[in-house]
A = this chain, B = another copy of it.
Amino acid sequence: MSHETAPLDAEQLGAYFALMEVSTLLQHAVDEHLRADGDLSYVQFQILARLTDAPDGKLRMTDLADGVVYSRSGLTYQAGLLEKRDLITRTPAPDDERSVIVSLTDTGRGLVAQVLPGHIDVVRRLLFDSLHQRDLAALGSVLGRVREHMRAAPPRSAKPRTGRHRTI
């Protein structure tokens, strides 16, 4: 067996639990706010937000799913809902018949703009109000490094990634 399995020390355990609890609570709070403010789930908001960030507001389904860390079938389902509300559009890609290109509609862009201030407000209130500038810098840099590390070492079953993968 090549891996050490000594127990995590108390400090590591604390950091791990804190990370999971903070992210869970934050997600719940944000989700609740998004629902009240724009009838969007957290996942739906993530999809729209990611599109907002993309060039021309367009992304292929797969790239979208990867960005949101979400199953393909789940994305198909949510895309159906969003399309029904006219927040996005799905059209076959011109260069590759298999691909579907998801485009943000004006309505979608509007809705994101509408809920964004509240969203940001919740995040700031919960996550940042308790932090000093120095803490924030530390948190960002440490988590950024962890993220790179994780992307490099994907969860066992993952296939080798396709490379072109935009940062959120």
Chain A positions near chain B (C-beta within 8 angstroms): 3, 5, 7-8, 11-12, 14-29, 32-33, 69, 117-118, 120-121, 123-131, 135-140, 142-151, 153, 155-157, 168
Majority secondary structure, A binding face = helix
**Partner pick for A26 among B12, B19, B32, CB 8 A cutoff:** B19
Q: How far is the CA of A144 from the CA of B138 in the complex (A)?
A: 14
A125 touches B3 (CB 8 A): yes
**Partner pick for A131 among B28, B135, B146, B151, CB 8 A cutoff:** B146
Identical copies of this chain, number: 2
Using A120-B7, A120-B8 as known contacts, say yes or no to A14 and B144 having CB atoms under 8 A apart.
yes
A21 touches B69 (CB 8 A): yes
